């Protein structure tokens, strides 16, 4: 399991992308203080301070 806190930096965005399996994220959009991406389990929106949790094929966001 990987937990990544989104702090608004390019580094945290890249870390999230690098840890997603190639089939997990279908689109990735960066908008100021948030990012959005599509997964097989639905769309996720992450705001600064939220944590993205990646566990095998499951991806969720904790605030």
Total number of domains in the chain: 1
Which pairs count as long-range contacts for 6-12, CB under 8 Å and 24+ apart, including other chains? 6/35, 6/46, 6/47, 6/48, 6/49, 6/50, 6/51, 6/52, 7/48, 7/49, 8/33, 8/48
pTM for this entry: 0.86
Domain range for residue 15? 2-62
- The pLDDT score that the predictor gives to residue 32 is 84
pLDDT above 90: residue 39: no
- What value does the mean pLDDT take over residues 31-49? 90
């Amino acid at each position: 399991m990987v937990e990544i806190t989104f702090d608004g930096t390019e580094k945290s965005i890249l870390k999230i992308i690098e840890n997603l399996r190639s089939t997990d994220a279908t689109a990735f959009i960066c908008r100021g203080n948030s990012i959005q991406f599509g997964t097989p389990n639905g769309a996720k929106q992450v705001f600064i301070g939220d944590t993205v949790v990646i566990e095998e094929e499951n991806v969720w966001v904790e605030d």
